[in-house]
Amino acid sequence: MPKHGSPEAPTQATERPVGAPGNAGAAMKPFVGQDAVVEFFRRTGENNLAHAYLFWGPRGVGKRTFATWLAARLHCENPGDFPLGMCGRCGPCLRSLAGSSGDTVVVDEEFIREADRLAGKALERKTDVIGIEASRRIITLMQMHSYEGGRLVCIVPNFDYATGDPAYNALLKELEEPSPGKLFLLTAERPDRIPATIRSRTIAVPFVPLTDELIARTLREHYGVEAKRADAVARRAQGSLGDALAALEGEGGSLFEAVREWVAGCLREPRRIPRTPALPGDDPRRETAEALRFARLVVRDALAVALGGSAHVLDPESLRIYEGVVAAMGSDVPQRLIHASRAVAEAARLADETNIPPAQILGWLQVNLRSV
């Protein structure tokens, strides 16, 4: 959802050497690709920044990482090229690397929990999405004076997952009448979830999926992953370096495996009722969306096998599972898998647009998968 002043998204992201002198490159997450984004800010220049940007695009493609690098560069005492050149040695850089910069407010889970605690509501919510109390705390902190003597930067990841209009409206005046020396960096996967009154007061900057080659190279060079494993994880990540890293760390891998076995079981043995995958954390809505994304991948790979395109499977490590599904389904497999794909898409729509409980959505999908 680009707007006037937004950079055009390239057809694909390419690798570009990033990092900074000193130890900054080793201490911060690498930022790779997104050449159009870097060029847009380079042309804009440090002295011509707007007061608020909305970084939007798929998960795990560098939105929050770029915001972190940009904030560190703005606070660096010996900066290099804009927007990513930080020295990594001065006091502000060392504090940025340690995650304790007094001039950068990061609205992460810890920030949200603390905001609820300070408001006496610590036990009322169990999600890590932005609520009214977090919005009020953002306003309070962003009205303070700069610790380093420069500008205050507020990084708000997953801004499209705020609890509702009150949380957004609380920030509206801050974005309508920005104080000098304040910068808001918001990130979102679905900018259409954010009220138009908020979007219209930001500059939208699109981020695109990364190539499999770039993800695999980053895993090898920055995280020491063996080449064959890096290639396999990169293909399954579907353009998301964040998802690739989560799979390696086990955060996304266990859920993917549970969803894969569940979907495969529904398709392979429809008379049996497989166990519905458990959602591991405290945010059922986001985790349901994640489970359905994995379900779509499983059905997609099974369909690739059914059409004879095993070489195009995104999860080659599970090829035997998909082959088993296709063999067990018997006749008219491609058409039945297309119906399964439509059922997953409808479940994703229900999860995104309604308040139906996740368990009911997954239960509905299970019935439909066993009925194709």
Could you confirm whether domain 24-206 is CATH 3.40.50.300? Answer: yes
Can you give the pTM of this predicted structure? 0.79
DSSP secondary structure string for all residues of 322-333: HHHHHHHH-SSH
Contact yes or no for 58/207 (Cβ under 8 A): yes
pLDDT at 281: 64
CA dist 153 to 62, 129, 157, Å?
Answer: 18, 20, 13
pLDDT at 309: 80
pLDDT at 19: 39
Beta-strand relationship, 203-206 and 52-56: parallel
Interatomic CA distance for residues 187 and 265, integer angstroms? 36
pLDDT at 89: 87
pLDDT at 27: 53
Interatomic CA distance for residues 55 and 203, integer angstroms? 8
Q: What is the pLDDT of residues 231-263, one digit of tens each?
A: 888 988 889 998 888 878 765 567 888 899 999
Interatomic CA distance for residues 223 and 151, integer angstroms? 33
Which region, left, alpha or beta, applies to residue 122 given φ > 0 means left and ψ of -120 to 50 means alpha?
Answer: alpha
SS3 104: strand
Instruction: For the chain, list residues with pLDDT below 70.
Output: 1-27, 122-128, 148-149, 163, 250-253, 280-283
pLDDT at 177: 74
Interatomic CA distance for residues 303 and 214, integer angstroms? 26
Token code pair at residue 100: 């304790």
